[in-house]
Structure 1
Amino acid sequence: GARSEAAAEFGELAVWPPVDAVPVDVSGLYAELAGDGMAYGPLFQGLKSAWRRGTELFTEVALPEEGHQDAARFGLHPALLDAGLHAIGHGDPAAAETGAQLPFSWAGVSLYAVGASALRMRLVATGAGDQRALALWVADGSGRPVAAVESLTLRPASAEQVNAAGAAHVESLFRVEWVAAGAGAPVEAADLRWAVLGRDEFGLGTTDAQVTEYADVDAFVVALEAGEPVPDAVFVAPSVGVSAEGVVEAVHGAVGAALELVQGWLADERFAGMRLVWLTSGAVAVGAGAGVRDLAGGAVRGLLRSAQSENPGQLVMLDLDLDGDGVGAVAAALASGEPELAIRAGVVSVP
């Protein structure tokens, strides 16, 4: 239940409409807000009524019928809570000069009940000007406590600011575009020494580089301790090809195995100066209309991207086109120093 010190404040929501409060006309509010650059969709147009009493604002809000089924998914449905704040400044001459007052910072939030589809809200001003803030008490349609907020700080926003923010998505990045990598310094593959953990199913041994296979990391360590030279790159070449029936199991298995290998690799100081290159084929879409056929490899790439951000320079992701001349361009790709690459028809691309 609500804390005893808040019981009196919630008592103001037990009698509805609130006693001695003056109704505020909100019939044209959403059209007015849309004109100011704040257009709310149907789910967010939940404000039904509002009243003022001195520095207090009371609002009544409800989710549209299509939103009722989602109410139970939330402690407090975000569209419902937001709608209770839409009348802030509406019909208040003192707020007209500062522009729209938008929620900025929340403090002292308590939740007492969940799943409401309609609310009564009491908002009490606790600050003014640029430091304007509100205390909130929220009850359900029968006046039972739902939530309380000790302080909600507001920030003024002009129509120009709101419109500019709304247009920002035009400059946003909606997709990854792969472009040809710039030409780096010439590379002589014959001068390179590569190690492969697992079987060389990608055909690295067909290049001029000196390629050595190791059954696993342990076998590679034994070779290093026996005096084997440190390779220029260490490749992880998981098996390619997954049947449609086994995709889920393959994804789980591939990600689990990759996590174990990468964690062990990064924790071993003996590998600190070596680049681990994770090979996939068809795990990323490069070019218009291209698809992804290796879903397990795609999932592993997501995991590795996080590891790359924490360990810059130690991990490389390289996706090859086994149907083209991908293997022949591996040396040039690695020479670029990029953390993520793809090779299609012999052309090295980066995102």
Structure 2
Amino acid sequence: MHAGNQLDAPHVEELTLEAPLALPEQGTVHLQLVAASEDGQGRRAISVHSRPTDQDLWTRHATGTLATTGSAPTDPIDANWPPNGATSLDTADAYEQLAELGLRYGPVFQGLQAAWRDGDTLYADIALPKGTDTTGFGIHPALLDATLHGTALSTTDSAGQLSLPFAWNGITLHATEASTLRARIASTGPDTVALTLADPTGAPVATIGSLTVRPITPEQLATAGAEQHRSLFAVDWVPVSGESPEAVAYVEPTERADTDDPIPGLVLAHVHGHQGAPGDVPGNVHATTQQVRELVQQWLADERSGPVRPRRPR
């Protein structure tokens, strides 16, 4: 939204999150937002990238579209708060529960104050800590993020699987520099919600036409913060030493160690590669991998092959 304001396209028509932005314990990260030229209909394609200062490669985290026009606020939040008929939810240990699931929020982001539910609609009070400076923000990121914390808890299943934001559509900001919010989060489908954000008087602050969430496990969250691979895995040849030529055997993927002869200390398999339908690269790769796997399984199943180490020839 900030970039859009500089380009007379302040509405985020859609934004799809592709990869997490993991901050290292040490060092800094460059963040870059790229906006394309206006397409003649008031839209600009955007993408968000990052690069640690000690690396040359950029990671793309999100793609989307900015637009010159957005939706007007509809169905405003009633000044009667909390809504009649809504059931109060216990949020006293909400952030302890989220931490156990892998979502650990610092004090500024712990903005969920209270929550209520009425059918498929969730209502929440959100507030920044006293003294938090909102100057210059369209909407403070911690305030916006905290509107979803009650949803994260309410959508966690019995297996501990969370649902986190994946795709945003129709984001329009109606007021700036808010420090407290009333949020209405209405379910619009199995994995989508619509959000209406207002100030304590009910005046509109922001609307989000549709937010799509995707399931994620605590294990996936833990690995998301790890250093990302900079490239595909590569083959690294390890020199063979200590074995004499007499201790080496060459086999074909279809061969088995089904004789009574002693098994040498080093076995090298000559893998030709599966030749199936022309152009079916994935199918041929899978078939070749299956051949190699079966060969390894056959050799490992033989008690005599215990000391044999698998290698691949140059």
* Greater share of residues in helix: 1
| Greater C-alpha radius of gyration | 1
Indicate the structure whose relative CO is greater, using CA pairs within 8 Å and at least 6 residues apart. Answer: 2
TM-score, with normalisation over the residues of structure 2?
Answer: 0.48
TM-score, with normalisation over the residues of structure 1?
Answer: 0.43
